[in-house]
Amino acid sequence: MAPGLDGLPAAEREVEVAAPVAEFLRSASPRALRRIRLGLRAFEWLPFPWRFSRLGGGARDDFLRRMEASRFSLHHELLLMAKVLVTLGYAVAPRVEEKIGTRRSCRLADGSLPAPQGTLGDTMPSGPEEECDVVIVGSGAGGAVAAATLAEAGLDVIVLEAGEAFDQESYPADPLEAIARLYRDGGLTIAEGRPQVPVPVGRAVGGTTVVNSGTCFRAPPAVLEDWRTRFGIEWATDLDGAFAEAEELLRVTPLDPERMGRNGQLAMEGAAALGASGGPISRNAGSCVQCSSCPLGCEIDAKRGMHVSYIPRAVAAGARLRTGVEARRVLIEKGRATGVACTLAPLRPGPGNRGKGTARAGSRPYAVRARLATVVAGGALGTPELLLRSGLSGSPIGRNLHIHPACWIGARYAEEVRGWDGVMQSYYVDEWEPQRLLLEATFTPLAFGGAWLPGAGSDHQRSLLEFHHVGSIGVHLSDESSGRVSLTRDGSLRVRYKLTQEDANRLTFGIARAAEIHFAAGATEVYPNIPRAGVLTPSNLPDFESTRFKPSELRLEAFHPMGTARISPPGDGACAPNGSVHGVSDLYVADASLFPTSLGVNPMMTIIAFATRIATELTKSS
Ligand SMILES: Cc1cc2nc3c(=O)[nH]c(=O)nc-3n(C[C@H](O)[C@H](O)[C@H](O)COP(=O)(O)OP(=O)(O)OC[C@H]3O[C@@H](n4cnc5c(N)ncnc54)[C@H](O)[C@@H]3O)c2cc1C
Ligand code: SF4
């Protein structure tokens, strides 16, 4: 798939791709692995009676072009899977990065390094069972904030986190290792459906905030008003104080247009030329000016994720953080949650557990007894998974999954964009909010973004060589479509999602708007990521807009799962407005799962505001 071209090294002959990718895939779930194996086998035999791996260079390119032009969506899905895996392994090879000119070097505007942010304490349990007032599962946007709020109110808190702890000194330098260790299932969590949608979520102290883009939006007032009136969340329109407090702690500031990088500036110029409303994005990364590698962890911790903000604050107030601990089951006795039964994973060295790497030889049981309450904040996939595993089935838990399906719309500019020399997510356009759309200039690292460039084989290599001329905009939809989180027979996670034709139409409309912005900023061609549409130019854009594309034709990703334990009356939702789970005493949810409908903007700040509110109410009732 990467034969080598004009100075780009040939895969396998000059740079290793298969072995590092195979090693990386060890972090995928058995279910994902089975699907990948099956897909690769089918891909290998598609040129039947020949096998793809045995074809010569020219024949491979011909075959890949035929796959690109095929009218069967299965061909596109298989090709995309092969392209994603190959690009992941190929793009991170130092020789490839050197040739293309990408590099990872996080930097603040004044060249300084952010000071380390407090301690995480000793993350090792003191025995096979511990006791506290409140146990919290998950240390992401919801769990970390609940922990700080409860600990500062004087409660004895234990936070359980399945992932490891990372800081400036311990982020893995190798991108594949970073993905494997910072994400659940190596980032290969897929919502099954047509199309299949990857929904990566973080798995580390700080949760997904460690790998997110640092974009901070308050919830749209109209959405909060809807949640108040339709779902009975009386306090939903009273969150200004919680937003302001979080913005101060996370040092949320709007980007300086001069310093946000050319990718954001082009989106800004294009939107201005069209008269579309928008602005520089506010972020929790202070004056960071570089480097577009937020999804691999911010190696200087400029981004104030939960691991460098609320978690150290919770620990300073006495909370105990336990890492490498997977909550397996909420303990429920006589209708009351009394704690959590867990598995303690073998430990790797990290902050808070340096030098203790050999202390846990294999995984072993561990439990936490909670005197007052059990709070589940494992994210919109992890929370329903745990609740379902705890026997709370037959209720709306796991339903109503919304994900903000998104597509990456790249464009070729005559000028050099060098998107990696700027802030990853930098400028938003909210002109089409009435159509449920939010556009954000987002430049992803080559290992992720490279697979979305046009072409396959030699043609894709040509695209890679032009990467410094590429600009990109993410189109995010506030989805009415929904999905479901459930457990398979063997108890593992299953995520399903069904994109409706109406939402596919909205996304197509959004792609056309992103294309218009690109063209207005000087782009010569746009890549809509819909195989049947090919490459867009100003002259064929009207044809694109008048074409109806089936949901299965779109290539999507999603980064904002929510709604799987929503606040709504019993029968319709899983939780009451105070976050308590219907039907079980002393059991609460405090994360993205609570949202009754799709939010419409990047959710971290709203999750923080919800967790603040729920934990504050909990301190009053305890
Ligand atoms: C690549 C990417 C970029 C993003 N960019 C932005 C952005 O710029 N702005 C924004 O607002 N949002 C962004 N998001 C989304 C945002 O980060 C998440 O919505 C948010 O962090 C979710 O918070 P949460 O508390 O619900 O879950 P998470 O932050 O995901 O935390 C859940 C934690 O619980 C742990 N956990 C789960 N189950 C268990 C268990 N059984 N036992 C122990 N631990 C468990 C997990 O390991 C995880 O650490 C992005 C997401 C991604 C993937
Ligand atoms: S926040 Fe993101 S863009 Fe800024 S320095 Fe960190 S990784 Fe780089």
More confident residue, 312 or 361: 312
Residues with CB under 6 A from ligand 2: 106, 214, 285, 288, 290-294, 298, 300, 302-303, 423-424
Q: Which ligand is nearest to the CA of 214?
A: 1
User: Is-catalytic flag, 582?
Assistant: no
- Residue 375 reports pLDDT greater than 50: yes
Model confidence at 354, pLDDT cuts 50, 70, 90, reads very low
Residue 108 has pLDDT above 80, yes or no: no
- The whole-angstrom separation of Cα 312 and Cα 117 is 7
Q: Which of 183, 205, 209, 588 to mutate to test the pocket of ligand 1 (most atoms within 8 A of CB)?
A: 209
| Whole-number pLDDT of residue 347 | 58
User: Which residue minimizes the CA distance to atom 50 of ligand 1?
Assistant: 212
Number of residues in the chain: 622
What are the pLDDT digits (tens) for 439-459? 999 998 888 888 889 999 999
Nearest residue (CA) to ligand 1, atom 14: 212
- pLDDT (average), residues 375-401: 95
pLDDT at 288: 76
Burial zone of 187 (CB within 10 Å; 0-12 exposed, 13-18 middle, 19+ buried): buried
Q: Which ligand is nearest to the CA of 206?
A: 1
pLDDT at 84 (0 to 100): 93
Pocket test for ligand 1, best of 160, 392, 559, 588 (most atoms within 8 A of CB): 559
Q: 281, 291, 304: which to mutate for ligand 2, most atoms within 8 A of CB?
A: 291
Q: Give the model confidence (pLDDT) of 51-87 as tens digits.
A: 999 999 899 999 999 999 998 888 999 999 999 999 9
For residue 471, report the distance from its CA to the centre of ligand 1, in Å: 27
Specify the DSSP element, H or E, that contains 496. strand 493-498
Residue 357 pLDDT: 39
* pLDDT in the model for residue 506: 98
CA-nearest residue, atom 1 of ligand 2: 303
| Spacing, Cα 589 to ligand 2 middle (Å) | 30
In this predicted structure, the answer to whether residue 352 has a pLDDT above a threshold of 60 is no
Of 132-141, 354-363, 420-429, 577-586, the range with the lowest mean pLDDT is 354-363
Residues 474-514: tens digit of each pLDDT: 999 999 999 999 999 989 999 999 999 999 999 999 999 99
CA-nearest residue for atom 2, ligand 2, is 294
Question: What is the three-class DSSP state of 527?
Answer: strand
Q: Which ligand ends up closest to the CA of 261? A: 2
Distance from the alpha carbon of residue 293 to the mean position of ligand 1, in angstroms: 17
Which of 123-137, 337-351, 432-446 bottoms out in mean pLDDT, i.e. has the lowest?
A: 337-351
Catalytic residue among 307, 518, 560, 582: 560
Ligand 1 atom with minimal separation from the 143 CA? 25
List domains and CATH numbers for the chain: 1-100 (no CATH), 129-214+217-251+284-401+559-621 (3.50.50.60), 254-283+406-478+500-555 (3.30.410)
3-state secondary structure 221-288: HHHHHHHHHHHCCHHHHCCHHHHHHHHHHCCCEECCCCCCCHHHHHHHHHHHHHCCCEEECEECCCCE
**What percentage of the chain reaches a pLDDT higher than 90?**
82
Residues 574 and 563 sit within 8 Å (Cβ to Cβ): no
Question: Ligand 1 — pocket residues by CB below 6 A?
Answer: 137-143, 160-163, 200-204, 207-209, 211-215, 295, 325-327, 377-380, 382, 386, 425, 559-560, 591-592, 602-604, 607
Q: Which atom of ligand 2 lies closest to the CA of 213?
A: 2
- Ligand 2 midpoint to CA 285 (Å): 7
Q: For the residues 379-398, what does the mean pLDDT come to?
A: 93
What are the angstrom distances between the C-alpha of 17 and each of 88, 131, 434, 464, 607? Answer: 9, 47, 44, 16, 38
> Could you tell which of 211, 294, 308, 427 is best to mutate to test the pocket of ligand 2, judged by most ligand atoms within 8 Å of the CB?
294
Amino acid 286: pLDDT: 77
- Percent of the chain past pLDDT 70, that is, above it, reads 96
Among protein residues, the one whose CA lies closest to atom 29 of ligand 1: 140
Ligand 1 atom closest to the CA of 590, numbered from 1: 25
- The closest ligand to the CA of 208 turns out to be 1
The answer, as to whether pTM is greater than 0.85, is yes
Which pLDDT value is given to residue 57?
84
With a cut of 80, say whether residue 467 has pLDDT above it: yes
The H or E element containing residue 441 is strand 437-442
Q: Locate 81 and state its tokens.
A: 């899977």
Judge whether residue 333 has pLDDT over 60. yes
The number of helix segments (H) and strand segments (E) in the chain equals 17, 21
Find the 302 Cα to ligand 2 centroid distance in Å.
Answer: 6
The model's confidence at residue 153, banded by pLDDT at 50, 70 and 90, is very high
- Which of 181, 604, 610 has most ligand 1 atoms within 8 Å of its beta carbon, as the pocket-test mutant? 604
pLDDT of residue 110 exceeding 90: no
- What CA dihedral angle connects 607, 612, 617 and 621, to 10 degrees? 110
Phi, psi of 244 (to 5 degrees): -65, -40
Between 30-39, 289-298, 405-414, 608-617, the lowest mean confidence (pLDDT) is in 289-298
E strand or H helix that includes residue 465: helix 458-465
Q: Encoding tokens for residue 231?
A: 């779902």
CA of 273 from ligand 1 middle (Å) equals 36
| The predicted structure's pLDDT at residue 447 | 86
Q: What is the pLDDT of residue 362?
A: 66
How far is the C-alpha of 330 from the C-alpha of 517, rounded, in Å?
49
What is the Å distance from ligand 2's center to 416 Cα?
21
Mean pLDDT, the chain, as a whole number?
Answer: 93
Maximum alpha-carbon separation in the chain: 71
Q: Is the pLDDT of residue 356 over 60?
A: no
For residue 184, give the ligand 1 atom closest to its CA: 47
Centroid of ligand 1 to alpha carbon of 192 (angstroms): 20
Q: What is the pLDDT of residue 395?
A: 77
